[in-house]
Amino acid sequence: MPSITFIYADGTEKQVDAPVGLSVMEIAQKNDIDPIEGACGGSLACATCHLYVHPDWWGKALGDEDSITEEEEDMLDLAFDIRDKSRLSCQIQMTEDLDGMIVALPGADVDWAA
Ligand code: FES
């Protein structure tokens, strides 16, 4: 089973099982990762699933796309403390390639999110 490590704003980490096919937002919800709320259920209408993706997984997390979609960019503008490595986690589908992925929650003091 692939896994993801979430880094909280206070620096603590939590590694969780990450079933292929679920979105990273759904995986966060299943594991009670605050503050990933996912209020809109993944329909790009809330930005409560915002997090930072570690650069080592950034490209893989884009899937078949070359870049973030315009719709995701627009919604990200509404999120708290956006940085270069910001994504909406409902738009990241878990794959075997993302096994071991490191993500951080908004406000986390990680130097790789820029
Ligand atoms: Fe609402 Fe991701 S869950 S935009």
Which secondary-structure segment (H or E) carries 64? Answer: none
pLDDT attached to residue 94: 97
**Which atom of ligand 1 is closest in space to residue 37's alpha carbon?**
3
Q: Across the strands, what pairs with 86?
A: 52
pLDDT attached to residue 64: 83
* DSSP 8-state secondary structure symbol assigned to residue 11: S
What is the value of pTM for the model shown? 0.96
Separation of alpha carbons 35 and 18, rounded Å: 18
Which of helix, strand or coil describes residue 51?
A: strand
- Residues of the chain predicted below pLDDT 50: none
Q: Is the CB of 23 under 6 A from ligand 1?
A: no
Between the CA of 71 and the centroid of ligand 1 the distance, in Å, is 11
Q: Give the closest residue to 50 by CA, choosing from 67, 75, 32.
A: 75
